[in-house]
Chain A
Amino acid sequence: MYDGQWREWKPYVSPWDPCPPIRVKSYVVAPNLFIPFQPPNLPQFSLDEALSRGTLWPALYSPYPSRREWKGG
């Protein structure tokens, strides 16, 4: 999901949980985690797109959808 930047795990769910369980929880592993040292001459967004996305490089772009929209842990 979302360019492979999310990891999922399944927390323990008790038969006695008081609330309806969220069975799968997830966390972000942003792309900077996988680039030890940024190599030169990476592909770039157009300047307009870079300004709105917050980065010049698609390799560093990390979308974050609000959890209000997709329910989940």
Chain B
Amino acid sequence: MWIYEKKLQYPVRVSKCDPRMARFLLEQYGGADGELSAALRYLNQRYTIPDKVVGLLNDIGTEEFAHLEMIATMVYKLTKDATPEQLEAAGLGPHFVNHDKALFYENAGGSPWTATYIQAKGDPIADLFEDIAAEEKARATYQWLIDYTDDVDIQDSLKFLREREIVHSMRFKEAVEILKAEQGKKKVF
């Protein structure tokens, strides 16, 4: 059960009419290390992970959906007023013939999202290390996206999202430490 707040987690302002950037942003929408993958990965792993870290996966997975909405808002703002010619010039011709201006879960290269992007191994350590890696990869993607635009307003939103990846990675690392459990207990074997 979720409670929905009808607002974005962090404001999204797009100042430059640049449909090209919409295509790049799709990497974080429907890409392997994107927000959809993140949300579905964590929320699915919750069920078979020790109780002590279920809440963490729940909270972070939920936040990823809030990030997904922010990316969707950016993509929509950048494409909603474009003509077919402009979308084609932005490299979105193949997207246009299949989806018109509808958003779709695909990466910047146009490959549709697939569940093979995520894993649930059933082993808590393996799952948490995948989650840590996913956060670091998403952080890197946000860096390259920030590099690829000169719109300072979109950069501002992307910098917020990048920072959240860093915090999430830290929390997942702490979850691993919690599951290692014996550390700091001064147990003598």
Contacts and interface: CB of A to CB of B under 8 A. Distances in A.
Q: Do A and B bind each other?
A: yes
Interface stretch (B61-69, B79-87, B125-133, B180-188): B79-87
Contacts, number: 38
Nearest to B11: A16
Most B CB atoms within 10 A — which of A19, A20, A73?
A19
Contacts of B80: 11, 17, 19, 21-22, 73
Query: Interface of chain A, helix or strand or loop or mixed?
Result: loop
A72 B25 CA distance: 24
B171 interface: no
B83 A21 contact: no
Interface string A5-42: 00000010010111111100000000000000000000
Contacts of A14: 77
A18 B85 contact: no
Interface string B51-83: 000000000000000000000000001101111
Interface stretch (B14-22, B35-43, B105-113, B159-167): B14-22
B1 to A, nearest CB: 29
Contact of A18 (B78, B83, B84, B101): B78
A68 B84 contact: yes
Interface string B81-102: 1111100000000000000010
A17 B85 contact: no
Contact-residue bracket for chain B: 10 to 19
Nearest to B151: A18
B20 to A, nearest CB: 12
B137 interface: no
B35 to A, nearest CB: 21
A71 B83 contact: yes
B17 A19 contact: yes
Contacts of B16: 18
A29 B133 CA distance: 48
B15 A18 contact: yes
Contacts of B14: 16-18
28 contacts: A11-B80, A14-B77, A16-B13, A16-B15, A17-B14, A17-B77, A17-B80, A17-B81, A18-B16, A18-B17, A18-B18, A18-B77, A18-B78, A19-B19, A19-B78, A19-B81, A19-B82, A20-B17, A20-B81, A21-B80, A22-B81, A67-B84, A68-B83, A68-B84, A68-B85, A71-B83, A73-B80, A73-B81
